[in-house]
Each structure stands twice: as C-alpha cells, then as structure tokens.
A and B are shown apart, each in its own frame.
Chain A
Amino acid sequence: MEMPLIEFKNVTKRFEDRTVLENVNLQIYEGQVTTIIGLSGSGKSVLLKHIIGLMKPDEGTILFRGKPLSTLKIKGSETSLIRISYMFQDNALFDSMTVYENIALPLRETTNLDKAEIDRRVMARIEQTELGEAAQRYPSELSGGMQKRAALARALVVDPQIVLFDEPTSGQDPVRKNAILSMIAQYQRKLGFTAILVSHEIPDVFFISNRILALYDRKIVFQGTPRELENFDHPFKDEVIRSMEGLRDELTGLYSKRQFKVLNHAHMERKTLGETYSVVVFTLGGLGAIIANFGHDAAQEAIRGMGLFVIKHFGAIGGFSTRRHTNEFVTVLPYSDQEEAESILKDFVLDFQAYEIPDLCAGARRPTEPGGSVEITVLAGIAQGQPNEEIDSIIDAAKNQQKEIARLRCDGRR
C-alpha cells in the first residue's frame, strides 16, 4: 500500500478550553490534489497550519513520509528536506513591495541564487500567471483575481513539493473561481506538486480533486474520492454538503449534480417499465489550447457559454442538465427515445453552428489579445435508458457513443 506523504495520527488541538481538532486521523498522498471541506470555523485552516508548522498539535503526531514532522527540517532553500508553500486566504502579499518583489522575496532571502537567475525564475512565474503588466505594481493596485495570482506565483516560485491553499477562491466571481481552480489543477499537473486545498466551492472543487477529506465535528469523517463522497451516508452530507452546494452550478447555471439526481429520480418514478428516455453527454474539447492562448478566464467563459446554450436548447423541451466534469455536460431528455433524441441533437447542432459558435469564440477570446487562434471541438453521444436502469451506466453508455458534432476555430483577431 502506498505510503502517505503526510499522515495525522490522533492529532488534537485546543485553544484554551475549546477543542478544535480531536483525534484527527488523515492521510495525504503524494502528487494528488486533496481538498479539505467543512463548515466555516470547523478548523480547516487550523489543520492546514499544522502541516506548515505554524501550529503544533497538543496531542498526537504528524508524520511526513512516516517520520514525525517535528523532527524534520522544513526549508525553502534548494537543499531542503521538505519544500512547502502556503497560499493564504487573504493572500498576505507584502503591500509595500511590488508584485515582482513579492514573488522574488523567498528566492532572495532563502537561496544563494544570483540576481539574473532570480530574475529568470520570477519572470517565468509572472508570465505563467499572466501578471506581466502588473509586475511593477503594488498589491493594492491590483484586482482581487490578480492578487490571488500574485500569491500563487509567490507560492510556486520556490518549486515546492507541497502547496497548501487556504480558500484560494474566496471572494471571487464564478468565472474567476473556476479559473483559479483550473489554474491550480494545471500547475499541479505541470509541476507535479502535492496540492492541499481548503475550500467551500462545492461542486467546483470536486472537478480538480483526487481526494476529499471531510472535517466535521472536530474529526475527519470522510476520506476518499469525490465519487465515493456521493455514496457517503453521514449527517455531514446533509448538514454540510447540501448547505454548500446550491441547486445550480454557479458558473453555468445548470443543475447541481445532486439536484440533477433528484429531478431524474422524480421523472423515473413517474415512468412505467418499458418506457424509455434518452441521455446526451457533451464534451467541450480544446480547453487546454484556450488556456494556453487566451488564459483561464477565457476557458471558463467558454464553459459558461456552453452551459447556457445547453439550458436554452434543452430546457425548452423539458430536458434537464448538469455538469459532470469540468468540460462534460449531461442532459436527460425524459420524454424522448433514442430516435427522437438524435433528431433533437441534429437541430441542436444546426442551432449551435448558427448562433453559439460566434458566442463561444467571443467568450473564449480575450478582447485585448491581438493574435493567436484555437480550435474548439464539441463531442456528443446519445444513449437510451429505462426507468429501472442506473443513470450512471446510461451516462457511461452515452459517453462511449460520443462523436464530434462541431469544430470551430476561434481567432484572436476580431
């Protein structure tokens, strides 16, 4: 069995007579995105601060690769044993320093790199986080999103093994929230660090997480994949998940996964055995190219545009839809068999090519971007099901039937 990178064993933390963490046991694995969810004030940030060493447990042990964290050196230098970065909820940027100076600070203070090398590394992070124009500006002169990116660049500049994100999307609009999460996922894949997030953004955060840890009533009550969380039967699910997860996906306006399942269940209960219905699965391809050419915001705008178009087209004929993964949409057509669904999909494709393609490109294109072009593909697959069948298996069947229904080139020049 894989050894956890970080393991909490019976960790308890008290503040005077208030116990915040009680016998917490958890495992975090290397190279994964692990998200800690829980209600506000439940001790998620306290848990994170134990990992970085800003707090010490009153009882219990924290292990790093099986060795007690308290016996290991944590440094930011090149020769360190563990390189951990922390992205604060409120960014904690130094307000008397420019963005460049903020990002360069850990390199200047903790390494012996020469000025040219520091400049190279800092500029590389600035480019990656699209902060080129803001490099010489002070944090107070930046928007909330740019401040987040500056904090992210500062956290990543030392090439950390582990990055801790304390509510990285707080106070952001839906597009920006998803853009930040997408950015974290992208860098995690690219740089291979272990990401540990504290977040309230359900379900958005599930799209990028390998593992979820649920903190409830001072303890970790769940550890597993987002999919396993769906089948988790615990008061946590009623009290926490449902309170955090709205009825609709904030970004696209589509139904949340939970609400989608409730609606599907209600429709299936009204059907008799033998009646059929259809499921369509759409996948928006080319998001990586949009991110590379036009940035994370543009990619989220494209997803948002696609979601809105799905609602507009299928909502009118009684269909209901949800977002299953970052770029995957599922629509149930409760009153249509496969043949009818295929006919509806043909209309959808015609409409999509006539009206949506220009909008999708406009959303995906940054107005200030002078050049560059990307290709976006839309795949769709249909499957027919019966009321007694599991919806997930019909969705999987539809996904297996997917073929390209549209291909569009978005040019940076208008």
Chain B
Amino acid sequence: MMLDEDKRDLSRGGPGRHLGAFLTVPFAVFGRSAIHWINSSGAAVIFFLLAFQKIFRPKQLSKIVQQVYYIGARSSLIIMLVGLFTGMVLGLQMHSALVNVGAQGYLGTIVALSLIRELGPVLTAIMITARAGSAITAEIGIQRISEQVDALATMRIDPLRYLVSPRIAAAILSFPVLTAMFDLVGIIGGYISGVLIMGANSGTYIYRVQASVEMKDITHGFVKAVVFAVVVSTVCCFQGYFAHMREDSHGAKAVGLATTSAVVLSCVLILLSDYIVTSLLI
C-alpha cells in the first residue's frame, strides 16, 4: 500500500526529482552568476560612458584638479618608493643571472624594457588601487549610505558629474604621469643595485637603456596606463556608487565589502587587461 508521503513525493516528480536537482543546480548557479556578471559589466560600461562625457561639462576643472592632487600628487611618494625598490631588485636579480651567461652588459636593456613595458604600468596601477582606489570606493560608498548622493540629486546636482567624472578624469591624467615616474625611478634603482652595488659598468648600463628603449615601448606603456586608469577608476567608483544595492550586506558593512571588492576586482582586471592590451600591441 502506498504511503501518503510517497504519493506526495511522486506528485512532486518522485525520487528522480532529487537527481535532477543535483544535476541542474550547478548549472543554474553558474548561469545566475554569469548573467549577474554580464549585467554588472554592462552597467559598469554605461556608468563609465555617462561619467566620461560629463568630464567636459562646465564647473569641472577645479574638482578635477582637486582629484589629481588626491589620486596623483599624494600617490607620488609611494609610487617612487615602490619603483625604486622594484628597480633595485631587478638590478640585483638580473645582474646575477646575466653574469652566469656572460651577458651583464644587457642589464640596462632588461631593467628598462621590463619596467617600461610591463612592471611600470602594472605595479603603478596596483599601488594606486591600493592607496587611492580603496579611498574612492569608501568615500562614495559612505556618501551613498548616508543619503548624501540622494541629497545631491535633490539639489539638481548630477551625482555622476559631481562625484565620478572628476575622479575618472583625474585617474586618466595621473596614471601615465605616475607610471613615467615609476619607470624613471625604477631605472635609477636598477643602476644603484646593478652598477653601484654589484659593480656592473656604468656607461654600458646607461648606453643600453638609451639604445634599447624605443618610442613605441614608451607609448605602449602609456596606453596601458590609460587603460588601467579607466579600469581602476570605473571599478572603484562603481562599487562605491552602488554599495547600497549589494545583496550580501547593508550599511557600513556593505561599504567595507564594496571596498574589498573594488580592490580585488581592480587588481584582477589590471592583469587581465594587461594581457589583452599586450597581445593587441605586440
């Protein structure tokens, strides 16, 4: 005789229902995540385009200058410090490796090209993300949860124009300049460790730097810096701007998680876009 429980189970699809769910749930989860990512990516692109066109509206210059100071000028010291030690480590490592194959004369080439083509733009972008990107997300996020963004809207001040556009403009202006500083200080760092500490020839190092670096290397480095500026500023502003819409938390916790997400996502996207841009430029 069939029990009531069995009848109910059959009416819901029977024992096979559990197996079906077991097989379909992972796809459903993956599908939902994929749709969410595509939605968010699309929203971020629209967010950037809207904010970018508002850079050129009136009354923006003073805000952009202020943000260049926060994002650019105040990051310069840490960028130079990281650049110096990156160059010094490169100088040490490359010198000991090149000595083994008798090619220590190429130290300047390796240090300069690796810094200008790759390490400079990438490490600069990551350092700015850590220093200024997180601050951007936290600041906009707090303004969002305390209704300051809504207050702007009620005063007929476009929050995108007021909060986001100056930061994106400042990032686009600051990243290439900071990258150039990183590259220059890094090459000096390589000189200090390779020439002054390890004893490589000074004239050869400087000659190799001059001879091996072409304009296209510098241009490619700057193109990367601009791409990273767009990625970092958009991701950080977007995360802060929509901190109140997070499904995993609310209030101050949402701002904290938005800041973490902004930093992690920016770093991942820097590396991903680095590969894409390199493959397109090379």
Residues of A participating in the B interface, judged by any CB pair closer than 8 Å: 52-54, 74-77, 80, 84-86, 88, 90, 92-95, 105-106, 108-110, 154, 158
Contacts and interface: CB of A to CB of B under 8 A. Distances in A.
B156 A92 contact: no
A54 B154 CA distance: 8
B155 interface: yes
A54 B59 CA distance: 24
A92 B146 contact: yes
Of B147, B153, B154, most buried by chain A (CB within 10 Å of CB) is B154
Contact of B156 (A77, A88, A90): A77
A108 B147 CA distance: 20
A329 B154 CA distance: 40
Nearest to B58: A112
Interface string B150-167: 110111110000100000
B202 interface: no
A92 B157 contact: no
Interface in B56-88: 59
Contact of B157 (A54, A88, A106): A106
Interface residues of B, number: 13
Contacts of B157: 76, 105-106, 109-110
Contacts of A86: 151, 154
A75 B155 CA distance: 8
A49 B106 CA distance: 67
B147 A90 contact: yes
B150 A88 contact: yes
Interface of B: 59, 143, 146-148, 150-151, 153-157, 162
B154 A52 contact: yes
Given A93-B148, A158-B155, 18 more contacts: A54-B154, A75-B156, A76-B156, A77-B156, A86-B154, A88-B150, A92-B146, A95-B148, A105-B155, A105-B157, A106-B155, A106-B156, A108-B59, A109-B59, A109-B155, A109-B162, A110-B157, A154-B155
A92 B147 contact: yes
A108 B59 CA distance: 9
Contacts of A90: 146-147
A54 B150 contact: yes
Q: Which 4 A-B pairs have the closest CB atoms?
A: A76-B156, A92-B151, A86-B154, A92-B147
B153 A76 contact: no
Contacts of B155: 76, 85, 105-106, 109-110, 154, 158
A110 B148 CA distance: 16
Contacts of A110: 155-157
A85 B155 CA distance: 7
A91 to B, nearest CB: 9
A108 B62 CA distance: 12
Given A75-B156, A110-B155, A110-B157, A88 B162 contact: no
Contacts of B162: 109
Contacts of B150: 54, 88, 92
B147 A74 contact: no
Contacts of A75: 156
Contacts of B146: 90, 92, 95
Contacts of B147: 88, 90, 92
Nearest to B153: A54
B44 to A, nearest CB: 23
A122 to B, nearest CB: 14
A406 B151 CA distance: 48
12 contacts: A54-B150, A75-B156, A76-B155, A85-B154, A86-B151, A88-B147, A92-B151, A94-B148, A105-B157, A106-B157, A109-B155, A158-B155
Nearest to B151: A92
A395 to B, nearest CB: 42
A369 B162 CA distance: 41
Nearest to B63: A109
A110 to B, nearest CB: 5
